[in-house]
Amino acid sequence: MSLSGDEAEVQDENLLAAAVILRFYEEIDAPLVGVDDETYLRGTQVFLEAQTNIAVATRGLQNAALWVGFRQEFHSAFIKQRPFRFELGCCASSTYGCFTSADDSTWANRIIFYCAETLNFCYGNESHDPERHARLFEYTDRWFESKPTNFDPVYDKPADSSGKRYFLTYGFLVTVMVYPHG
């Protein structure tokens, strides 16, 4: 934490990774301690603010730590019903803000980015104007239209309000092994 005030040290990808790992242990210990004070999440935020522009544009440890940190922040923001605290502008203008062909991890990160934007819309102090709401829905539609088939459910059943089942049902692939008798 003391290194987070040093201009040179906040650029160190190893310290970013260390902050993310410490946050992981903080999350695991929270139920035992009874409180999640997000100490290391704030530390992660300091390192991410300094490294996000580089981490978004590269692959490797820095990029991996960025997305783990984003997922940790998303989880905490969702549970505590608060806005996403990390800067998202760098993602909007990168491969994570568009729908070009990419690997599965990029597609997964795109939906994390979208979920963070949605948290900001729901819990942030920014405007809740209908245009912004429509852009979020448009992103949803575009993501579903553009995503690779690896993200398709194996089974889905539409909602049926007459049967009092108001939500979609998605199925997951389950492998069952059958052993012959005898």
* 90-140 pLDDT, tens digit each: 788 788 888 899 898 899 999 898 999 999 999 988 778 889 899 998 998
Quick one: pLDDT band at residue 52, thresholds 50, 70, 90? confident
Is residue 68 assigned to a domain? yes
What is the pLDDT of the chain when averaged over all its residues? Answer: 79
Q: Which residue has the higher pLDDT, 154 or 77?
A: 77
Quick one: pLDDT band at residue 182, thresholds 50, 70, 90? very low
Residue 181: pLDDT over 50: no
159/53 Cα distance (integer angstroms): 41
Residue 155: pLDDT over 80: no
Any idea which residue has 């946050």 for tokens? Answer: 23
User: What pLDDT was estimated at residue 173?
Assistant: 46
Is residue 146 assigned to a domain? yes
Is residue 150 assigned to a domain? yes
Alpha-helical regions (H) of 34-129: 39-57, 61-80, 89-92, 104-123
61/70 Cα distance (integer angstroms): 14
The range of the structural domain enclosing residue 103 comes to: 2-171
179/32 Cα distance (integer angstroms): 42
For the whole model, what pTM was predicted? 0.75
Residue 49: pLDDT over 50: yes
Q: What is the mean pLDDT of residues 76-100?
A: 86
Is residue 181 assigned to a domain? no
Is residue 86 assigned to a domain? yes
**Counted domains in the chain:** 1
Is residue 137 assigned to a domain? yes
Is residue 179 assigned to a domain? no
User: What pLDDT was estimated at residue 169?
Assistant: 65
81 by DSSP, 3-state: which?
A: coil
User: What pLDDT was estimated at residue 123?
Assistant: 92
Is residue 35 assigned to a domain? yes
27/35 Cα distance (integer angstroms): 9
> What's the distance, CA 92 to chain centroid?
14
175/3 Cα distance (integer angstroms): 48
Q: Which residue has the higher pLDDT, 180 or 59?
A: 59
79/119 Cα distance (integer angstroms): 11
Residue 59: pLDDT over 70: yes
> Which residues, at least 6 apart from 97, have a Cβ–Cβ distance to it below 8 Å?
91, 110, 113
115/87 Cα distance (integer angstroms): 13
17 by DSSP, 3-state: which?
A: helix
Q: What is the mean pLDDT of residues 60-88?
A: 89
